[in-house]
């Protein structure tokens, strides 16, 4: 027992030395391009997000983590400027349709990303490329009012991307690089405009804190009009919502985090010592019971942990269509407006409810991934249908 105490004391001493060394070790610079509005690392967007009120003094800054379709269709966003700064922007047909509707109403949308995919890129014929020259690409505006005598220069190749193709019939070139390639575009839709930049890292912390980066960003965003609300999109960048866990305070502070680990280690040592001193508990044999409810809970937990929203959504749609086919003898091979009219005529439900259900089933059917919000929205439409159909 005495030898064990000696080994234990040595282990604790070594652990304490390791913790002190880790605490005093300099934190390496994280060069990962997150473009996350809370990140203060070089390629985060903490500075530009917190300086939006300086660019739009009278505007309220509002974050939204809904897709463009839900944000506009569900009126989550109203009149204002809509900003998307992300590693990739991918809009499907439904997203793009709602986005154009939002812009035509007189609003402005700004996007900055490495890549543009989906229906947005196909419609506007967008593709990007990088300058192959060894020299760092410099940028400038095409407007005589904003154009500088000397180009804006940025370090670490963050301005080397440009639009290799775009719809020249619809686009207005707002900015170019020193090679004559377009880097900033504008598209007019109705009363509003869509602005697209090929260099998202220019809006990162390192760009705004060095050289004339802040001046370039301010002028780039000055194309957007004064408004009462500026929306910051979190959905396209895949930003993780704020952690609501009770342990978030401990894990956000390195010192508290190590204190938590030491407490767990001490508790483990205490348990190991207590195991030797206590008699093994005689187990109580419980009688057999109906485990149907537990089985249902386990199955539900498996679905929840796998997070296979696509599978759940498609099964719910299949169950609904089977129910309509078997009970009401409806043809379910084609889900369209005519099908919605048959639902209204045969079941006597509200035509708006039937059309919304059909639209959302078609929307889910073309999604590669189904988010939690999409699944909840699908369930809401189906439950509303069952309520009126019963």
pLDDT in tens, 27-43: 788 888 999 999 999 99
Report, as an integer, the average pLDDT of 345-371. 83
Phi (first) and psi of residue 77, to 5 degrees: -110, 145
pTM of this structure? 0.58
The SS3 assignment for 250 reads helix
Structure confidence at residue 305 (pLDDT): 67
The proportion of the chain whose per-residue pLDDT surpasses 70, expressed as a percent, equals: 88
Poorest-pLDDT segment among 55-59, 179-183, 386-390: 386-390
* The dihedral formed by the CA atoms of 162, 165, 171 and 174, expressed in degrees to the nearest 10: 20
What is the band of 134 on the pLDDT scale with cuts at 50, 70, 90?
Answer: low
Q: Is 222 exposed, middle or buried (0-12, 13-18, 19+ CB in 10 A)?
A: middle
pLDDT per position as a tens digit, 304-355: 666 678 888 788 888 888 888 888 888 878 888 888 888 888 888 888 888 8
User: Residue 9 — pLDDT band, cuts 50, 70, 90?
Assistant: confident
Can you tell me the distance from the alpha carbon of 225 to that of 81, in angstroms, rounded to the nearest whole number?
8
What domains appear along the chain, each with residue ranges and CATH number?
46-233 (3.40.50), 305-389 (no CATH)
Q: Cβ–Cβ contacts within 10 Å for residue 304, how many?
A: 10
What is the arithmetic mean of pLDDT over 105-113? 95
> Dihedral angle at the C-alpha atoms of 173, 175, 181, 187, nearest 10 degrees?
-30
Q: Using CA atoms, how far apart are residues 74 and 77, in angstroms rounded to an integer? A: 8
Q: How far apart, in Å, are the Cα atoms of 34 and each of 38, 113, 156, 237, 241?
A: 10, 11, 16, 8, 14
**Which of helix, strand or coil describes residue 380?**
helix
Name the band, by pLDDT with cuts 50, 70 and 90, for residue 190.
Answer: very high
What is the reported pLDDT for 52? Answer: 92
The residues, any chain, with a CB within 8 Å of residue 102's CB and separated by 6 or more, are 72, 77, 82, 109, 192
Structure tokens at 188: 């007019």
């Amino acid at each position: 027992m005495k030898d064990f105490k000696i080994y234990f004391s040595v282990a604790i001493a070594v652990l304490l030395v390791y913790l002190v060394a880790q605490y005093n070790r300099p934190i390496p610079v994280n060069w990962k391009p997150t473009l996350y509005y809370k990140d203060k690392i070089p390629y985060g967007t903490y500075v530009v997000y917190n300086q939006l009120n300086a660019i739009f003094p009278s505007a309220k800054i509002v974050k939204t983590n809904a897709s463009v379709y839900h944000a506009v269709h569900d009126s989550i966003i109203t009149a204002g400027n809509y900003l998307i700064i992300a590693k990739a922007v991918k809009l499907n047909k439904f997203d793009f349709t709602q986005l154009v509707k939002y812009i035509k109403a007189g609003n402005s949308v700004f996007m900055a990303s490495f890549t543009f995919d989906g229906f947005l890129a196909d419609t506007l014929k967008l593709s990007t490329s990088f300058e192959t020259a060894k020299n760092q690409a410099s940028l400038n505006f095409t407007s005589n009012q904003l154009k500088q005598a000397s180009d804006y220069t940025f370090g670490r190749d963050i301005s080397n991307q440009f639009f290799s193709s775009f719809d020249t019939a619809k686009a207005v070139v707002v900015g170019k690089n020193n090679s004559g390639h377009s880097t900033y575009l504008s598209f007019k839709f109705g009363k509003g405009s869509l602005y697209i930049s090929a260099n998202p890292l220019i809006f990162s912390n390192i760009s705004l804190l060095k050289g004339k980066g802040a001046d370039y960003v301010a002028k780039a965003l000055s194309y957007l009009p004064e408004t009462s609300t500026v929306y910051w999109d979190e959905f396209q960048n895949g930003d993780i919502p704020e952690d609501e866990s009770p342990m978030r305070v401990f894990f956000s502070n390195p010192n508290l985090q190590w204190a938590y680990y030491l407490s767990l280690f001490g508790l483990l040592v205490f348990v190991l010592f207590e195991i030797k001193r206590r008699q093994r508990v005689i187990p109580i044999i419980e009688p057999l019971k109906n485990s149907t409810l537990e089985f249902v809970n386990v199955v539900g937990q498996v679905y929840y942990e796998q997070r296979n929203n696509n599978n759940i959504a498609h099964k719910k749609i299949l169950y609904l269509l089977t129910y309509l086919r078997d009970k009401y003898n409806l043809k379910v091979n084609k889900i369209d407006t005519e099908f919605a009219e048959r639902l209204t005529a045969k079941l006597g439900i509200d035509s708006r409810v039937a059309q919304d259900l059909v639209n959302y089933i078609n929307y889910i059917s073309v999604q590669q991934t189904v988010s939690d919000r999409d699944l909840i929205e699908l369930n809401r439409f189906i439950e509303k249908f069952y309520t009126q159909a019963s």
